Structure 1
Amino acid sequence: MSSEQKEPFTVGSKSFTAVAINTAAKAGEWIKSKLGDFSSLTIKTSPHDLVTEVDKGSEMMIRNLIMTHFPTHSILGEEGVEPGAAASIKALQEASDAEYLWIVDPVDGTTNFIHGFPFFSVSIALAHKGEIIVGVVYDPNRDELFVAEKGKGAYVHGRRTMVSGEERLLDSLVATGFPTDRGPNIAGNMRGLEAVVPRVRNVRSGGSAALHLAYVAAGRLSGYWELGLNAWDIAAGMLLVKESGGHVTDTKGNPYHLEVRNIVATNGRIHDELAQLLQESDAAGN
């Protein structure tokens, strides 16, 4: 941890951030050890929405580690929720009254993991009364741990992360993701691509929302947008971006909150231009 960083959030003698870091690192290393070694593959909502026993095992590990330290806290994890947008929205609503809510994606980028494409992560966030106060994203393939605390900055390898300096969309490298549901959002996504590609330096799609957000925070991407995400895809990465000097809203420019499913995250400088372009091209989703 950088010497510039203040004391982490604690309850009693236990640091929320230390638990999040330790938990993400342990889960990530276990996931990496299972590359090419999973035995079950299950389709959730569509052939594009997949889960393995590694996702479930990772979430169980994360739950057990968190509950060991904070047995009174609540946990919202992807694999503990029925597939589909409606079930995700309902699960978040049911958990929203919790004073402390851990929001977990045990493998963000399952399709990549299944194919051996090394771009997936563990995402762990902690919300206090609905506000994200800790966010950790761990990439086990690159051994990169991105950490943010509300009001205290964001770090990777102990170094402060800062968003990129591009002032124009034309000079920017941006990223997007493709919805797993292949419903109305895919049409909006394609309209967005058609509008954005000619207006930027280039577009990437890595397949892990949490890592895309971490890359915006670290200045590797100038911006990122995606439709149809869930709280566990966004929560930790959102705090990374904000604590690195960036800006996060929904695709219509409204402030981020846990219920946001269509997201734009940028260095702040290109934010209005990107959000407006998505809206004008009917690519902002519902």
Structure 2
Amino acid sequence: MRVAVVGIDGSGKTTVLRRAAERDGFAVVHAVRGHDDPNSPFAGLSRALAGASAAADAVGRIQLKVAVLFLQLCLYGPGERHAAHRSAIVLADRHPLVDPLVYLPLFGHLARNDEPGSDVAAWWHEQEPDAARAVRAWLEARTGHTDPWTLGEELLRLGTRPPEEMLDRLTHRFGVTPPHGVLLLDLPVQQALRRTGERLRDSELHETAAFLTAARQRYESVLDWLTRTHPDLTGQRIDCSGLSVDEVADRVRDAVGALAAVRGPAARLPTTRPSGGSG
């Protein structure tokens, strides 16, 4: 059984899922930052892509940011299959068929309708040489070319299409199917901003109050649309305001347990905790 845990930046997804993996024995796959999973066989490429994402933030062009996001999400399918060998239940920190429905339409409003100029060259220059070579090879493998700007423009155009068309095309591009459940970790924007402000890494292009407010609203509408149009998909909103990591992890476990009970024995919860886990 596959369950996506989604929400705006700062809502606590990564921390809560780390606790769920340690305490409850769930397998976790990180859709954007695969190297956050110490068991990931794709950690090296994921780190290179994280550097490319930071370079896009430094250059300040959303076309490059979106292109890198696509390349990061292309690692999700292999990561999910790898995680499925460790547990009957796989939790995803973001999902390539859910989060783009939220972000691609919003990113389109940040794009300038002009030419890249020297920004693509500057983006490559911002990356470490070995990492840039890995990113270039992955870009060519996934698209057949090495032009990130063209990829970014294509994805921004996709964000203007109806959600069903977006979902169909992303399903084909990523080679994955929708999750069985989607859990939306909901947190007020000001609390999320305080958390993102405490991160060691630099802020990303979209970590602003206005953007996170719009993203929070989009998550609600996307979750509603998915559950209305895809009866096999279960969605649930979890209010995280004022809750500790353990309390949110408890709610995630309860929601996953309820979904597993509906889906039958093949989706049962882990019965033992992994050795060395906390809690």
Q: Tell me if both proteins adopt one fold, taking TM over 0.5 as the criterion.
A: no
State the TM-score, normalizing by the size of structure 1.
0.26
Q: TM-score, normalised by structure 2?
A: 0.26
- Tell me which protein shows more strand as a share of its residues: 1
